[in-house]
Chains A and B, each alone.
Chain A
Amino acid sequence: EIVLTQSPGTLSLSPGERATLSCRASQSLSSTYLAWYQQRPGQAPRLLIYGASSRATGIPDRFSGSGSGTDFTLTISRLEPEDFAVYFCQQYGSSRWTFGQGTKVEIK
């Protein structure tokens, strides 16, 4: 089973700053099957990025994804108040899925 490790666990930033979140896989995986989700308190997760770098419908362009192999990154170029939330990466392979443990982006 592929294990995803996200870092840092918590990111303390101010509105307007840039956020860089990391997701590292225990073995190389296809970029096609790497996704990122945002979860606000009390809400269901929301798809942000699929295929490592494609934005989902309705996602602002301040969100971007990159990476390949075992190292993937989610970047939020300028944090808006509504972006303070928890972010999860996810991988899919052989009809099975795993999630990273999450990174919380909190207001500094």
Chain B
Amino acid sequence: QVHLVQSGAEVKKPGASVKVSCKASGYNFITYGISWVRQAPGQGLEWMGWISGYNGKTNYAQNLQGRVTMTTDTSTSAVYMELRSLRSDDTAVYYCARVDGSEGAFDIWGQGTMVTVSS
């Protein structure tokens, strides 16, 4: 069975960094990409970026360029999302999602990681 399991909740101070992990199982990791999506409390879904499981190529949302970095570790089938210079409006649930290669839909989602930014 295909699963994406994310790391646990984080509390950070403004200006700090956070790194969230997403471990994949049940499929060939290198044949799919992973996207990250975040959801502020009571708000909608915001796409943050995508990373290829094959070669680590990335594509980030313009509003996060320079603050976000996504990486993979193919030896452990894990994807990491690091967000720097955290602000209070980065408080959100962060999801990783597997990207279907042909239609671009997000067919499998992680359980979500709550990141709280507060002084």
Contact = CB atoms under 8 A, between A and B. Distances in A.
Contacts of A44: 95, 109-112
Interface in A27-65: 32-33, 35, 37, 39, 44-47, 50-51, 54, 56-57
Interface string A66-105: 0000000000000000000000101010011111111000
A78 B67 CA distance: 45
Interface in B26-40: 35, 37
B112 A99 contact: no
Nearest to A96: B59
Contacts of B46: 99
Given A44-B95, A96-B47, A101-B44, A90 B106 contact: yes
A102 B110 CA distance: 20
Contacts of A46: 109
Interface in B73-104: 95, 97, 100, 102-104
Interface residues of A, number: 26
Nearest to B48: A97
18 contacts: A35-B106, A37-B45, A39-B45, A44-B111, A45-B95, A45-B97, A46-B109, A51-B105, A56-B105, A90-B45, A92-B104, A96-B61, A97-B35, A97-B104, A98-B47, A99-B44, A99-B46, A102-B44
Interface of B: 35, 37, 44-47, 50, 59, 61-62, 95, 97, 100, 102-107, 109-112
